[in-house]
Amino acid sequence: MSYEGLRVLITGSTRGIGKAAAQAFLERGARVAINGRRAEDVAATIAELGGANMIAAPGDMASAKACSKLVWGAIEGLGGLDVLVNNAGVFDSGPVVDVSEETYDWMMDINVKGVFFCSKAAIPELRRNKGSIVMTASESGLSGNKDTALYCTSKGAVVNMTRALAHDLAPDIRVNAVCPGAVMTDMVTGGGEPGDLTEMENFSPMKRIGTPKEIGEAICFLADPTQKFMTGALLAVDGGSTACR
Ligand SMILES: NC(=O)c1ccc[n+]([C@@H]2O[C@H](COP(=O)([O-])OP(=O)(O)OC[C@H]3O[C@@H](n4cnc5c(N)ncnc54)[C@H](O)[C@@H]3O)[C@@H](O)[C@H]2O)c1
């Protein structure tokens, strides 16, 4: 079992894709640091996932200082780190002319700056352990989707950060990204009953929205320690929508 004892930090793992990824790693025998902004959400997620083989690493990853603190908390709690999953992210949509500087800073701080500085903080430990980084990017980082210029800007940055870090950190640390299409999480439903999702479902040739589990499994695959030659890879898990545009 290649995942047995693997020490994994997943940012934004209190719900959605991050929680599904935590579940996938746990099922394979890994140990996981659960992160979210609020300590009570982190504790609730750990309890929900059964409590075993997890530690709490709460923290808001919107500042470089907080990123260092949460990464070092995870390293201390797990006794080291083999995999960093940069998954936490936020979404907003609307015409570019309506985007305020405040919204721009909020999204770029979480989706780009946090990813950059969590990676930076984890590099010495990942290098020591010949570990890997997995980014949750997006199909919106591979193409320019309508009325989401800010989100596309942030995920495009994550895509190219993946390539640049893969180059910089080889051969010690592998860096790969999953690029999901629409996935049924709070990000799509707004945390409540989803409205009419027909347009979103019809966007991909598969004519449906993905599940968090499908993306969690893909994240796990990218982190598989036996995949020693795979780095700088962008894995679209989007029902074929990127391939068909
Ligand atoms: N759901 C989709 O359709 C979709 C598609 C493509 C990519 N993604 C990406 O997948 C990732 C996970 O999104 P999701 O769909 O599970 O959304 P979600 O809203 O259900 O979960 C987001 C997670 O990030 C955490 N988070 C947000 N801001 C944070 C901060 N400042 N510090 C720490 N944690 C923070 C939240 O607490 C939560 O755990 C994001 O990067 C998102 O951009 C989602």
CA Rg, the chain, in Å? Answer: 17
Pairing of strands 174-180, 234-237: parallel
Nearest Cα residue to atom 25 of ligand 1: 12
Nearest Cα residue to atom 17 of ligand 1: 187
Burial of 226 (C-beta count, 10 Å sphere; 0-12/13-18/19+): exposed
Q: Are 94 and 147 in contact (CB under 8 A)?
A: yes
Residue 1: predicted pLDDT: 56
The CB of 182 under 6 Å from ligand 1? The reply is yes
Q: Where are the domains of the chain?
A: 7-237
Measured CA to CA, the distance from residue 175 to residue 159 in angstroms comes to 11
The CB of 113 under 6 Å from ligand 1? The reply is no
Sheet holding 83-86, edge to edge: 54-56, 31-34, 7-10, 83-86, 132-136, 174-180, 234-237
The CB of 216 under 6 Å from ligand 1? The reply is no
Residue 236's DSSP bridge partners are 179
3-state secondary structure of 31: strand
With tokens 């989100």, the residue in question is 151
Best of 90, 154, 178, 237 for a ligand 1 pocket test (most atoms within 8 Å of beta carbon): 90
From the candidates 3, 25, 151, 203, which is the catalytic residue? 151
Report how far ligand 1's centroid is from the alpha carbon of 187 (Å). 7
CA 218 to chain centre: 11
Residue 2: predicted pLDDT: 85
Fold that domain 7-237 belongs to in CATH: Rossmann fold (3.40.50)
The CB of 78 under 6 Å from ligand 1? The reply is no
Atom of ligand 1 minimally distant from the CA of 62: 31
End-to-end CA distance of the chain: 38
Residue 151 falls in the annotated catalytic set:
yes
* pLDDT averaged per 10 residues, the chain (length 245): 92 98 98 98 98 97 95 98 98 96 98 98 98 98 96 98 98 98 95 90 95 98 97 98 90
The CB of 141 under 6 Å from ligand 1? The reply is no
